[in-house]
A and B are shown apart, each in its own frame.
Chain A
């Protein structure tokens, strides 16, 4: 990694609040690496985040303009910032609870409005910071503090929602597929129009330990096995796989 990346962080804010094995640290590094490889000045960016663990990715760690808003309100703030100063590169970073649950409606309407902002969702499939409650992205059967006998509801596919609402760039990868995620984040940061990138991120503490994952490494292994290249839009069942998570670049306009 280029040493330059160290200039992008506020060193005094370390260590991060992330638990050991959390995937958000990987996402945090990937975004900085992407900015470094694109060679964009950090002062051109405004990072907006909401509540939840993933809200800590930019604020206070990134040495740029960062804004930590209340739960689900990151996208509306980002829209306001972009409207007030269209020259800024506005990036929303949040978790699935922030962007898919409390801010779910904002996601849909921001994609519909097609403002030139980038939304990066570090999806750990659980409301981790508030104590491991069920999230709209929690898979069927998963045990959380509010679904003790297993989740009975179908999870959201945030990429499909973004597609239905008209996002101009949609991609999904995982913390295990770091290089792929880096590629997508890099493209998403400079793509015109509303870009949505979902990065699946392991949460060993609030999700893994209640769902028979021994440790974070096992969760990453699970991501390796369960994420397969595919297309959410055509629903192509590559290699006959139907019960897996499709990753890839789904929309690139």
Chain B
């Protein structure tokens, strides 16, 4: 989870999405390419072994809607001062004499590894172009959240168990809701923060990597259902935990 976010040196923003079904794997892969083409940023599709091994029905679109990158020539291809923060990306061979480097660079692509101003401008642009579009990027799913006393935050395959647990808990009269994160990065800070008056539980297949993010947003550490033995977190396991909490 955190490796997708911080997998490179220097500060930057990245988009990472986490499907929970075969259908979503297909839909979100198209979405990932579209985001990447539109925002000129790598988009990471996170998945777990359980989602990867699923066999389910899925509907494929005969003509999925795709976005093509801006290939306009004649403008600086490695930086822009306009509000979008996304420079055009002309293809190689379009007579633009593109100067591509992985190092800190200016708008024309010239290496500026010892220019503090260029470095600051680049880091700011790479972050801002994502942060200023957080609302259109971030996807999530709410299940019985509005009247819930207890909220479980989960993602990926674990969210399927959580979704089942919500049904079972509601049958028992426990007001449990689910917030399923589809976009993991950028993290839905405001949404998570708005839940701080409810009892929050995070279910995930690690020692609390997203729980730490939730704590950052709500100010208090959430309760954690964690499993790292390779076996999935079961709905009953969540339900049992909830019953313990709701008493």
Residues of A within 8 A of B (CB): 10, 13, 42-44, 46, 59-60, 63-70, 81, 84-85, 87-88
Q: How far does the alpha carbon of A101 sit from the alpha carbon of B75 in the complex, in Å?
A: 37
Separation in Å of the B94 CB from the closest CB of chain A? 8
Q: Determine, out of B95-103, B224-232, B238-246, the stretch whose residues face the partner at the interface.
A: B95-103
A-B contact pairs, 25 of them (CB 8 A): A10-B99, A43-B93, A43-B95, A46-B92, A46-B93, A59-B99, A60-B99, A60-B101, A60-B109, A60-B110, A60-B111, A63-B97, A64-B97, A65-B93, A65-B96, A65-B100, A66-B98, A67-B92, A67-B98, A68-B103, A70-B102, A81-B92, A85-B93, A87-B93, A88-B92
Q: How far does the alpha carbon of A59 sit from the alpha carbon of B110 in the complex, in Å?
A: 9
Residues of B within 8 A of A (CB): 91-93, 95-103, 109-111
Chain B positions within 8 Å of A44 at CB level: 93
A68 near B101 with CB under 8 A, answer yes
What residue in chain B is nearest A45 (Cβ atoms)? B93
3 closest A-B pairs by beta carbon, nearest first, are: A67-B100, A68-B101, A43-B95
What residue in chain A is nearest B90 (Cβ atoms)? A65
What residue in chain B is nearest A50 (Cβ atoms)? B102
Separation in Å of the A10 CB from the closest CB of chain B? 8
Chain B positions within 8 Å of A85 at CB level: 91-93
**B91, B92, B98 — most chain A CB neighbours (10 Å):** B92
Chain A positions within 8 Å of B103 at CB level: 68
Chain A positions within 8 Å of B98 at CB level: 65-67
Contact of A68 among B91, B97, B102 (CB under 8 A): B102
Q: How far does the alpha carbon of A64 sit from the alpha carbon of B95 in the complex, in Å?
A: 8
Please give 8 more A-B residue pairs, beta carbons under 8 A apart, in addition to A68-B102, A70-B102, A88-B92. A46-B92, A60-B101, A60-B109, A64-B97, A65-B97, A68-B103, A84-B91, A85-B92
Q: How far does the alpha carbon of A117 sit from the alpha carbon of B39 in the complex, in Å?
A: 31
Chain A positions within 8 Å of B91 at CB level: 84-85
Q: How far does the alpha carbon of A13 sit from the alpha carbon of B110 in the complex, in Å?
A: 9
Q: How far does the alpha carbon of A70 sit from the alpha carbon of B103 in the complex, in Å?
A: 9
Q: How far does the alpha carbon of A68 sit from the alpha carbon of B111 in the complex, in Å?
A: 10
Chain A positions within 8 Å of B111 at CB level: 60, 68
